[in-house]
Structure 1
């Protein structure tokens, strides 16, 4: 999974951490990669049935590679309906999917060449054979820097120099201009050439529809009135038929989702907040599943304009936030610890993790106040807002209306912390459907709290920290980066040595902290309430859910 931005709608939104964390007694976060899905053989499940899940908002752009479609719910839908060449196990190790790939390997190193041999049974729903042209169209749309394609993340694709047919019709040869260690993350999902061939199709063909599919499921219906999207098994699928008859996604805000679950209307709900866990731990016909995943919560700082364009101000705000206090609030009432994060690329108990936060992650309100004084933002009197050149130091904290109570509490605590050093924060709540396209994408905020999830391939984070090009900001919504970050991330992505790659990512991470890109907070625990009898679904660790195996026990 690539970096996915989402409002803290589910928090919000592995062993013990080596970084400082909240005091939660004997509670510990499950070992990194731990999963809890109630794994069962398919023959232990009853055929058919419906699984009803919630989603944060009604999705409209169903192209995950589009900047407006780069959210977790769209990725889930696309990986069920479009080719997923590799799937990851609970420890994040990728494995080829035989329904699409006979083989895939590096067949050259100077330059790097990856050769894919496709399953000849693999076809799009319109009958077209899946082939090299689909790979080529996706590369051209995502990796060639054409600003007419509003791409969420070109990383990896922008290192490809050529895509062409191999020795036969089922073979694809991808040649890289620059080495790319995480090549297995590319072309997953794979999209059809016909609907990626022009900028208009890249956007328009996926607006509230899936024009062509090639997965075990297809789009059954979209009901805007009921705010639901339904997937059903595709009779044209050449692999194992899914157990379920349908999967329904309902757009629900966190509180509505909690009540819907308690009322028996949906089958899974987030339980990673104290108020939710208190109710769900004792709910009838329900069980709680706990695990760990790549899931972080942070506050983005918009450095494009206004007071936060000054790095000294951003650094001061980093020191003004008591991260331990926020993590304690997030952990209250939960059965696991919520560790602070000192790294933007690795979770606290992931190989490669190092706490690079230094003074930028250490709470020191007095140092923050002195830094603002040096930056020219003076406090006219105690309890007053700082001023400079006739302007007050006022920041707009934009929250999605899909944010739950915890996210609101965290924003209010930050508001108080900044107020203590003379920074005024105005909290603005905006419609969930507008939060991404009208606020994050356009830089229409000073502060924003949300999550990135699923970055088990560290190169996936490049889009979050790379320098914007013109109007293309990728996923760097705060527009904060520099040439050194780009250089280090480029070298890290090219290194085939895990040790060297981890060292480079950590050097880049230290620079990201120094730049004041954001205020990294904590690693979010995975706690789900699941309807009893639901098998092969829950917390998949660092892996992917195989929805063909999800079903209800006999």
Structure 2
């Protein structure tokens, strides 16, 4: 995940329509004022991506590929709560064994470098038998084996609260991990059926690195002690904010094509100029400013796809927002179509409203389950605030209850692109029209998640959820906390009913029946006032001409070992 908000403080607003018009006009720095001259295409459909695919014999040996990184990665254990976000997980899936990869349609494909095969060998109880590639070994020389699977299950399964896990989904359903017929065979038995078993052990983390809670929580901070991939860490320079990956000579599979993959930390807004200065080979082009500057850049190809990637506004669960009616009112006070238009200004792919927290529109089973909760209705929003005891103050002042004004804070990443600043500005004006005063408070980009979002220290915040796939991953985003562990649900809002529906769906093997359960859960998430979904964010990127096997991935996973430059 990378944050997608910052904003400036609003003065007193006049009528809502005027406020929104001003916000749209404020897009001058985002691609030419309120006039949107970018011709819009439909978002890429299911199973589509845009990678400039090339067989390896058409890719040069050697060279360097340079990427931006939006924040320095401190926690490298993807099973640990602070290590589970987009860039960190993508990199770790290239440094550690990712037993299955995904294609553009989101289908799982076993990786033969790690697996001979893996399949369900018993239904009641469900047993999955993995046959490992006998050549696969860790960088400490030990072969991959059942003890690694067992350690991951025991750490990530959520039974020991000393392990601060990001997502126990699937692992908590496991009842046993054993060696099979020989050391290359692993048998995993589930106490309850789990449909998305192929998403487990992605990546597999070595037992030697997580043998104790201290190792699990702290042993991967600022370091990656053990790897097992085509690439390994070359340098990790925190002072220079630069990370390099290089081919691992101990790798048993096909050698990676590049000599070096370099990641440099920079703000999202700085990537456009870095790309134009030929400092990086890839940059996001999904905002008007970026697209306007990158679309005609020399030796550049614009690529697009529809990934699991959404932009939303999240509410915290404390203070005034502990009242569900207040959260519901804030949702109904938002004119999503106006907000989406602001974000979409100057971008060539249509941003479609998102009516589901679990499915993307290009996934089978998608339904708009938002009902009335995402429908702009200022009168209904005011009525909900009345019912919650927040009285009109008049004169453009915030409502009050028990002598307290309805004043809230939206925590913002200070490197947010201009289009999202304009969106936040408009949202604040809409809330002011309903009687809620919202201040927009910038915080440093590196602190946004670690000090504010992850610990739940926010009332309102917006960020992107990426790669929350397959469907069972949704449980961690909305499940009730257990003690201090909020999983990936930093607002800490949830219900037993939502948990039960999501768990039942995850154990339902029939995709159509599972989809019904997920959509039932999603309707409850909307009613809860947990999150206002805005839109699926199309992946629009600029890549250097000649960059092979990289670009806009859609639902597919990244494979740095195939990365390189065309011959």
TM-score above 0.5, yes or no: yes
Aligned to 2:119: 105
Aligned to 2:179: 165
Aligned to 1:196: 210
Give ranges in structure 1 of 5+ residues lacking alignment: 12-21
Aligned to 2:23: none
Match of 1:494 among 463, 487, 507: 507
Offset at 1:370? Answer: 1.4
Aligned to 1:460: 473
Match of 1:68 among 82, 99, 102: 82
> In 1, Cα distance between the equivalents of 2:365 and 2:158?
31
> In 2, Cα distance between the equivalents of 1:116 and 1:26?
46
Match of 1:260 among 235, 249, 274: 274
**Is the CA contact 1:56–1:402 (under 8 Å) kept in the aligned structure 2?**
no
Deviations 1:83-142 (A, max 9, x none): 010001111110100111111011111111111011110100010111000000000000
Equivalent residues in 2 for 1:142-153, closer than 5 Å: 142-153=156-167
Offset at 1:23? Answer: 12
Equivalent residues in 2 for 1:44-123, closer than 5 Å: 44-123=58-137
**Is the CA contact 1:10–1:272 (under 8 Å) kept in the aligned structure 2?**
no
> In 1, Cα distance between the equivalents of 2:416 and 2:149?
37
> In 1, Cα distance between the equivalents of 2:153 and 2:543?
39
Match of 1:342 among 332, 337, 355: 355
Equivalent residues in 2 for 1:463-478, closer than 5 Å: 463-478=476-491
**1:382 and 2:395 correspond:** yes
**Is the CA contact 1:162–1:176 (under 8 Å) kept in the aligned structure 2?**
yes
**Is the CA contact 2:6–2:413 (under 8 Å) kept in the aligned structure 1?**
no
Cα distance 1:331–1:153, how it changes in 2: closer, same or farther (>3 A)?
A: same
Deviations 1:367-391 (A, max 9, x none): 1011101111012213111100011
Aligned to 2:373: 360
**1:227 and 2:225 correspond:** no
Offset at 1:420? Answer: 1.0
**1:391 and 2:387 correspond:** no
Deviations 1:34-58 (A, max 9, x none): 1101111211121100000001101
Deviations 1:492-551 (A, max 9, x none): 000010110000000000010011111111110110000111011001221112211111
Match of 1:514 among 502, 527, 538: 527
**1:293 and 2:310 correspond:** no
> In 2, Cα distance between the equivalents of 1:233 and 1:210?
15
**Is the CA contact 1:380–1:386 (under 8 Å) kept in the aligned structure 2?**
yes
Cα distance 1:517–1:9, how it changes in 2: closer, same or farther (>3 A)?
A: closer
> In 1, Cα distance between the equivalents of 2:80 and 2:188?
22
Aligned to 1:30: 44
Q: CA RMSD in A?
A: 1.6
Name the SS for the 2:83 alignment partner.
coil
**Is the CA contact 2:412–2:442 (under 8 Å) kept in the aligned structure 1?**
yes
**Is the CA contact 1:9–1:253 (under 8 Å) kept in the aligned structure 2?**
no
Cα distance 1:464–1:119, how it changes in 2: closer, same or farther (>3 A)?
A: same
Task: Provide the aligned length of Structure 1 versus Structure 2.
Answer: 539
Aligned to 2:25: none
> In 1, Cα distance between the equivalents of 2:319 and 2:386?
17
Aligned to 1:544: 557
Name the SS for the 2:382 alignment partner.
helix
**Is the CA contact 1:346–1:353 (under 8 Å) kept in the aligned structure 2?**
yes
**Is the CA contact 2:102–2:555 (under 8 Å) kept in the aligned structure 1?**
yes
**Is the CA contact 1:118–1:170 (under 8 Å) kept in the aligned structure 2?**
yes
Offset at 1:9? Answer: 7.4
Match of 2:383 among 339, 347, 370: 370
Offset at 1:239? Answer: 0.4
**Is the CA contact 1:354–1:506 (under 8 Å) kept in the aligned structure 2?**
yes
Name the SS for the 2:373 alignment partner.
helix
> In 2, Cα distance between the equivalents of 1:456 and 1:203?
24
> In 2, Cα distance between the equivalents of 1:400 and 1:25?
30
Kindly report structure 1 stretches of 4+ aligned residues shifted beyond 2 Å: 22-27
> In 1, Cα distance between the equivalents of 2:336 and 2:265?
31
Name the SS for the 1:6 alignment partner.
coil
**Is the CA contact 2:411–2:440 (under 8 Å) kept in the aligned structure 1?**
yes
Cα distance 1:406–1:280, how it changes in 2: closer, same or farther (>3 A)?
A: same
Aligned to 2:4: 8
**Is the CA contact 2:6–2:440 (under 8 Å) kept in the aligned structure 1?**
no
> In 2, Cα distance between the equivalents of 1:148 and 1:282?
52
